[in-house]
Structure 1
Amino acid sequence: MIFSLENDQVPSAISTRFPHMLLSLAAMMPAVAPVAVQASPASAVVPPPALPSQADADRQKLQAMDAYLQAQVRNDMFSGVALVARNGEPFFVKSYGMANYELGAPNTAENTYLLGSMVKQFTAVAILQLQEQGKLKVSDPICRYLETCPQSWQGITLHQLLTHTSGIPNVSSLPNWDEKLAMLSYTRPELVALFRDLPLDFAPGEKFDYSNSGYMLLGAIVERVSGLRYDDYLAEKLFKPAGMARTYSGETRALVPGRATGYYSVGTDFINARLVSPTVDLGTSGVYSTVADMLRWDKALAADRLISRASRDAMFTPDKGGYGYGWFMAERHGRGAQFHSGSDNGFSTNITRFPADALTVIILSNSDRTNAGRVGNDLAAIAFGAPYRLPVEQLGDLLWNIMRDRGVAAALAHHAELKRTAPTAHDFGDETLVTMGYDLFEVRRLAEAKAVFEYNLRQYPTSAYSYDGLADIAAVKGDKAEAIALFEKSLGIDPKNEYAIDGLARLRADGAKKP
């Protein structure tokens, strides 16, 4: 029996980035008819109550999934679509929030969402297809397929790129990646040049360390070996055979009906995400899809329509860090799970497969605050009857809402009162207020941000990140001497604070350029 909840059946609640900073339902019991018992003259035997039917049990699970997601909307700003499938068929499908908040356009199951790092499984399948065609081997050295290859990469294999064990530094961890580098356009050689000459983080094969750089190189290798652009290869060799008609590359300025907008968050409010250059997404992100198309992808993998069973087994064989080729592997709810999340440009996504149970959970969200991995894991828990927790209101959200309605002074006074009268009710570490201050800084409410950081330092005098916030405010106002002094105070508390180290370096370099 297949169930789904349409958008109009249950009301949808509409509900930052902090710069220092995955069905088969478990053996259902069939309905049991009461056993007829002959009553004796002395007493009447009452038969045991009938166990719930599978339909009743499924209905309860559907209701629990919707209640969980409603709590996600209220307390974690979930916005998007969730799909739970068993035996390849949708069991639960429901959307929440808005595909575009400025236009008031609701999310639906037909919307397309940026997949983020879920794309790595596409790249892995492309490499495995080329191996099956005899055009490469995952044991080959990567320098065989790259035009310019530094000496330090000579011993790195395709397998090590696939499993994040190459030692090549992660390009998206470079200073100013989010603020500047990811917004620029690059040719393929220019993109590789961003990390080509960096020293390896460790000897190839020594350990696991997640690196987008490795999958960018794999995308370039797909292009060189196949003779097709990466996007064209995916469209022709993966999406078309899998029947994924609504899945496409984001490297287009064409108008695409149903494309959701990605959002960042400040407090409990959404803001527009920064635009990221599609040229930095090679092999790692840049693909939009729907929950229905991602279920088609899941079914194509399960049926070995894209790669052989041997290649699929290799893909789902964990190396260091529990990572195979484009997938993590771990135990969830006492079952083997295969999963991957994505986070990019205001989107948060996840796909989780429980192959032994034929259960798949797909979460596509256009809210950067959503932890899609947690959502997918908790929906799987409901499907299996395992424990899970409902999201609850966080202290930072409570304070933000007070500030929005009554001002920053009222929010800070409420924080002080709560800390005095209910010291165990919340986590009163300094991070909550640092995040709030930086959320205000993000939208250039500088006076309010300054008040939050200064209050935080009175509460927590060793809050190095509060000094960072005050330094950033001073820098925006053009007071570089004050900004330098504040960053130095931060480093006096935490000498390893890389944010303050980088901030100081930028300010001093800028000062050195002037006559």
Structure 2
Amino acid sequence: MTVLMQSLDEYLSEYENKWPLSGTILVAQHGEVIFKKAYGYANIEHLVPNKVDTKFRIWSLTKSFTAMAIMMLHEQKLLDFDDRIRMYLPETAHLEDITIAHLLTHTSGLQNYTALPEYNKTLSKLRMTKQDVLALFINKPLTSAPGNAFEYSNSGYFLLGMLIEHITGVTFETYIQDNILTPLGMTNTGIDTNKTVIRNMSSSYHSTWEDFIQCEHMNMSSSFSAGAMYSTVDDLYKWDQALYGETLVSKATMKLAFTSNNFNYGFGWFLDEHCNRRRVHHGGAYRGCRSQMHRYPDDGVTVIALTNYDFVPILKLTESVATIFFGEDVHISDRPAAYPLDDDIYAKYIGTYEGFGCQAVVERNGDQLYFIWNAEEAIPYYPISETKFHHTWYDWECEFKYDKDGNISFLGMKKVK
């Protein structure tokens, strides 16, 4: 084991000893896998451990594949990035100024259907047709003029999937499989449709009090081209390597995907820096599984992390692993000390908070502080400052915030009573 591998292994082992950890992590440089290891359980009920070939839902990392499909169609001269989407999709005839590029870069101004209360509360659990999903956002007022602002939108990438199907005459699943996954040998990657058994697929978990519970059912029909894919760290590394070559599209077209607009986003990728190095990255998170794929193209370095525990801070871990790789020190946080919070202050926080179709009921029972999430999960925590609280079991903190008028919000939701 090299010194670098040992450093990564020691860091993650120490983290696992202090905090819950589950999933798989891969680190590579210049075509060589430096580190790869699995942690925790793919299925807790049957004590099935995660392996390096365990599959996980990757959610919004799907967008990088959707964007690639659009770029491939562009190279086949079947579309231009500046084309108005109304040229292809009759349902968007009234959206005169939205282009394909706007959808790719989250600058369309379309309202994000996955942030709607009715979606999070009930619709995400149901099988929905494309027209059902379109009805959630297609006739709603734009939040901004196309091209004027970055607003992350699953709606835009849902439309891109419909556009792919319209132009090619095949399903999104078939196009991605035949034109990307099969040519790259990504045999452990696909579209989750809830209609087939996916072998070696991890189960998804959250928690209540200090124990695991299964995540709510999610019908993947409404995720579609915005987030319905699953994969493994090895397959995603094949994806990473393909982005350096010209197997799928030319380097000139690929460069467009990694060219930042005014909002640090290209075609299906966030573009920024970490450790003073250029970074191309994306992730996904919903209903248990979380994914992160971070590429440092100037250094030939890739870090990929997948988890099936909703509360594992996979973004922080991915960045920490990269920081260690680049020779900087990373310290694992100890459990923060409790803050002697005045009872009167906590009494102000007690109540019901609602937003995005979600609800948090902040309560207290003697010395036990907690909130009930969506009437199903009890999240115990303790104060670490006047406004911040830390979970009693895993590596997560939250905060109560006051606006200029003294109104309180929690987890981005307003207090309603």
Task: Give the whole-Å Cα distance in 2 for the aligned partners of 1:278 and 1:237.
Answer: 22
Task: Give the whole-Å Cα distance in 1 for the aligned partners of 2:73 and 2:225.
Answer: 15
In structure 2, the partner of 1:133 is 76
In structure 2, the partner of 1:381 is 323
Matched, 1:81 2:21: no
Residues 176, 355 of structure 1: CA spacing in aligned structure 2 closer, same or farther, 3 A cutoff?
Answer: same
In structure 2, the partner of 1:122 is 65
Residues 495, 86 of structure 1: CA spacing in aligned structure 2 closer, same or farther, 3 A cutoff?
Answer: closer
Larger C-alpha radius of gyration, 1 or 2? 1
**Worse-superposed segment, 112-121 or 301-310:** 301-310
Q: Secondary structure at the match of 2:284?
A: strand
Q: Which amino acid aligns with 2:66?
A: T
Scaled by the length of structure 1, the TM-score of the pair is 0.68
Equivalent residues of 2:349, 2:408 under 8 A apart: no
Residues 113, 125 of structure 1: CA spacing in aligned structure 2 closer, same or farther, 3 A cutoff?
Answer: same
Task: Give the whole-Å Cα distance in 2 for the aligned partners of 1:440 and 1:322.
Answer: 33
In structure 2, the partner of 1:408 is none
Distance apart, 1:294 and its partner CA:
0.5
1:365 pairs with one of 282, 307, 310: 307
In structure 2, the partner of 1:149 is 92
Distance apart, 1:373 and its partner CA:
1.8
Residues 317, 437 of structure 1: CA spacing in aligned structure 2 closer, same or farther, 3 A cutoff?
Answer: same
Q: Which amino acid aligns with 1:104?
A: L
Equivalent residues of 1:220, 1:282 under 8 A apart: no
Q: Which runs of 5+ in 1 are unaligned?
A: 4-58, 396-414, 422-428, 464-491, 505-515
Equivalent residues of 1:239, 1:245 under 8 A apart: yes
Cα deviation digits, residues 427-456 of structure 1 (max 9, x gap): xx96999496224774477xxx8xx89x99
Q: Which amino acid aligns with 1:219?
A: G
Map 1:121-200; keep pairs closer than 5 Å. 121-149=64-92, 151=94, 153-200=95-142
Q: Which amino acid aligns with 1:245?
A: T
Matched, 1:293 2:235: yes
Q: Which amino acid aligns with 2:371?
A: Y
Residues 385, 219 of structure 1: CA spacing in aligned structure 2 closer, same or farther, 3 A cutoff?
Answer: same
Residues 117, 75 of structure 1: CA spacing in aligned structure 2 closer, same or farther, 3 A cutoff?
Answer: farther
Aligned residues: 381
Distance apart, 1:74 and its partner CA:
4.2
2:293 pairs with one of 341, 351, 361: 351
Map 1:6-405; keep pairs closer than 5 Å. 59-149=2-92, 151=94, 153-394=95-336
Q: Which amino acid aligns with 1:315?
A: A
Q: Which amino acid aligns with 2:20?
A: M
Residues 93, 202 of structure 1: CA spacing in aligned structure 2 closer, same or farther, 3 A cutoff?
Answer: same
In structure 2, the partner of 1:437 is 370
More strand by share: 2
Task: Give the whole-Å Cα distance in 1 for the aligned partners of 2:97 and 2:226.
Answer: 23
Task: Give the whole-Å Cα distance in 1 for the aligned partners of 2:191 and 2:66.
Answer: 13
Matched, 1:494 2:415: no
Q: Which runs of 5+ in 2 are unaligned?
A: 343-347, 351-359, 364-368, 389-404
Task: Give the whole-Å Cα distance in 2 for the aligned partners of 1:170 and 1:119.
Answer: 16
Equivalent residues of 2:193, 2:228 under 8 A apart: yes
Task: Give the whole-Å Cα distance in 1 for the aligned partners of 2:38 and 2:17.
Answer: 14
Task: Give the whole-Å Cα distance in 2 for the aligned partners of 1:117 and 1:440.
Answer: 23
Task: Give the whole-Å Cα distance in 2 for the aligned partners of 1:187 and 1:237.
Answer: 24
Q: Which amino acid aligns with 2:157?
A: Y
Q: Secondary structure at the match of 1:253?
A: coil
Residues 420, 212 of structure 1: CA spacing in aligned structure 2 closer, same or farther, 3 A cutoff?
Answer: closer
Residues 444, 275 of structure 1: CA spacing in aligned structure 2 closer, same or farther, 3 A cutoff?
Answer: closer
Q: Secondary structure at the match of 1:81?
A: strand
Residues 373, 496 of structure 1: CA spacing in aligned structure 2 closer, same or farther, 3 A cutoff?
Answer: closer
Residues 128, 420 of structure 1: CA spacing in aligned structure 2 closer, same or farther, 3 A cutoff?
Answer: closer
Cα deviation digits, residues 13-34 of structure 1 (max 9, x gap): xxxxxxxxxxxxxxxxxxxxxx
Equivalent residues of 1:163, 1:320 under 8 A apart: no
Equivalent residues of 1:161, 1:218 under 8 A apart: yes
Equivalent residues of 1:83, 1:291 under 8 A apart: yes
More helix by share: 1
Task: Give the whole-Å Cα distance in 2 for the aligned partners of 1:196 and 1:420.
Answer: 47
Cα deviation digits, residues 465-494 of structure 1 (max 9, x gap): xxxxxxxxxxxxxxxxxxxxxxxxxxx962
Residues 245, 99 of structure 1: CA spacing in aligned structure 2 closer, same or farther, 3 A cutoff?
Answer: same
Equivalent residues of 2:205, 2:212 under 8 A apart: yes
In structure 2, the partner of 1:419 is 340
Distance apart, 1:276 and its partner CA:
1.0
Residues 180, 357 of structure 1: CA spacing in aligned structure 2 closer, same or farther, 3 A cutoff?
Answer: same
Identity between Structure 1 and Structure 2 (%): 32
Residues 330, 420 of structure 1: CA spacing in aligned structure 2 closer, same or farther, 3 A cutoff?
Answer: closer
Residues 220, 394 of structure 1: CA spacing in aligned structure 2 closer, same or farther, 3 A cutoff?
Answer: farther
Task: Give the whole-Å Cα distance in 2 for the aligned partners of 1:385 and 1:87.
Answer: 17
Task: Give the whole-Å Cα distance in 1 for the aligned partners of 2:210 and 2:263.
Answer: 34
Task: Give the whole-Å Cα distance in 1 for the aligned partners of 2:341 and 2:104.
Answer: 52
Q: Secondary structure at the match of 1:357?
A: coil
Task: Give the whole-Å Cα distance in 2 for the aligned partners of 1:342 and 1:87.
Answer: 25
Task: Give the whole-Å Cα distance in 2 for the aligned partners of 1:394 and 1:327.
Answer: 34
Cα deviation digits, residues 40-78 of structure 1 (max 9, x gap): xxxxxxxxxxxxxxxxxxx23222212322343344422
Distance apart, 1:495 and its partner CA:
8.0
In structure 2, the partner of 1:472 is none
Task: Give the whole-Å Cα distance in 2 for the aligned partners of 1:441 and 1:191.
Answer: 23
Equivalent residues of 1:341, 1:372 under 8 A apart: no
Q: Which amino acid aligns with 1:169?
A: Q
Q: Secondary structure at the match of 1:155?
A: coil
Q: Secondary structure at the match of 1:148?
A: helix
Residues 420, 205 of structure 1: CA spacing in aligned structure 2 closer, same or farther, 3 A cutoff?
Answer: closer
